[in-house]
A = this chain, B = another copy of it.
Amino acid sequence: MASPSLQKHSFQVFRDVPQLRQLRRQLLLSNRTVGLVPTMGALHEGHLSLIRQAAAENTDVFVSIYVNPTQFGVSEDLSSYPRTWDSDVAKLEELNTELAHQDSKNGRITAILAPTSKVMYPTLPPSSEVDGDGSFVTITPLSRKLEGASRPVFFRGVATVCMKLFNIVHADRAYFGQKDVQQTVVIKRLVKDFYIDTEIKIGDTVREHDGLAMSSRNVYLGARRRAVGLALYTALKAAEDAYIAGKVNRTEVLDAANSVAQKVLAEQQALSPAERALYEVDYISLADPDTLDELDVIDPAKGAILSSALKMAPLKESKPGEDCGLGDGQVPVRLIDNLIFKPRV
């Protein structure tokens, strides 16, 4: 199976594993270091910031672009997940130019791994069923908590595809965004329990000017839902203020977040269908940073993870000329965000 290496780019594009491994071996023998940034494409500033971090810490950056079917449930948005290959490649090219001009000590994006599903799942077709057959990595009970409660196959899919990517790339370091906080906890556990020889680095959540966490799914929001969806971040910040002010009890901390979420929703419900955007809070969690067990009281020596998911409902009515986002405001959008409560000395 040939792996077309598109020579017009400043990086090589690999669709299959053997040629990528050959490059990896050459880099190893020349004492170069590899940072892996796994993505599902639809690259935004959050991804680019991880790649910049990887380029600052490694001579070579490998970016994988693969929309992994096994982490989408059968009723989830696999088919509608944004696929934007050309603009992704353009962004990576631009970033390579930026890296070259900025600092000679920076590494560069050397390789894009954009495998087919037959490459990633060579034996059985990838199954999204909870009891589907295949070769999987499961990390429980972590995977059943928070996001996993409503997405039962999600972290099995994530852990499985990351194990494959780690084995394929043998990166010195791999980069994940803080925004998907449960994913960072699952991946750290995966690496520890299976002795994967790759250091996991977590990059800060990159936010829009007003604080909304960047996400590939934000393109579906449109202006109205986007503005209301900011309630998620505002609610988390209110709880963080409570922690900073010295509160450690679950009720006191979460009440601060809940009252923001309820207030914004009540304001929206008072508006007409053509003006409002409604949402449902899936969860607001205050959890242990390693186990994700819910906390009654924060141990100030350990800190906590405050995280939340919010489901933005489709718009019922739109106004003429309104920017309703990709899919005309009809795609339900699940937003997640989190803040790390650092230990207090």
Chain A interfacial positions (CB closer than 8 Å to B)? 17, 21, 121-123, 133-141, 163-164, 167-168, 170, 189-190, 192-197
B189/A167 in contact, CB under 8 A: no
Q: Which B residues touch A135, using CB under 8 A?
A: 137-140, 189-190, 193-194
CA distance A138 to B139 in the complex (A): 11
CA distance A137 to B133 in the complex (A): 12
A-B contact pairs, 24 of them (CB 8 A): A17-B195, A21-B197, A122-B192, A122-B193, A123-B189, A123-B192, A133-B141, A134-B140, A134-B193, A135-B137, A135-B138, A135-B139, A135-B189, A135-B193, A135-B194, A136-B137, A136-B140, A163-B163, A163-B194, A164-B193, A164-B195, A167-B194, A167-B195, A170-B197
Copies of this protein, total: 2
Q: Which B residues touch A21, using CB under 8 A?
A: 197
Q: Which B residues touch A123, using CB under 8 A?
A: 189, 192-193
B137/A167 in contact, CB under 8 A: no
CA distance A141 to B132 in the complex (A): 9
CA distance A79 to B137 in the complex (A): 27
Q: Which B residues touch A163, using CB under 8 A?
A: 163, 194
Interface centre among A134, A137, A168, A196, by most B CB within 10 Å? A137
CA distance A189 to B136 in the complex (A): 11
Contact partner of A167 (CB less than 8 A), chosen from B17, B139, B168, B196, is: B196
Give A290's nearest chain B residue, CB to CB: B123
Q: Which B residues touch A190, using CB under 8 A?
A: 135
Given A135-B138, A135-B189, 12 more A-B residue pairs with CB atoms under 8 Å apart are: A17-B195, A123-B189, A133-B140, A134-B193, A135-B139, A135-B140, A136-B140, A138-B138, A163-B194, A164-B193, A167-B196, A167-B197
Q: Which B residues touch A122, using CB under 8 A?
A: 192-193
Q: Which B residues touch A138, using CB under 8 A?
A: 135-136, 138
CA distance A190 to B168 in the complex (A): 14
Tell me the minimal C-beta distance from A37 to chain B in angstroms.
18
Give A190's nearest chain B residue, CB to CB: B135
Tell me the minimal C-beta distance from A122 to chain B in angstroms.
6
Give A170's nearest chain B residue, CB to CB: B197
CA distance A17 to B197 in the complex (A): 11
CA distance A189 to B190 in the complex (A): 20
CA distance A194 to B137 in the complex (A): 10
Tell me the minimal C-beta distance from A318 to chain B in angstroms.
46
CA distance A164 to B139 in the complex (A): 14
Give A191's nearest chain B residue, CB to CB: B167
CA distance A304 to B122 in the complex (A): 22
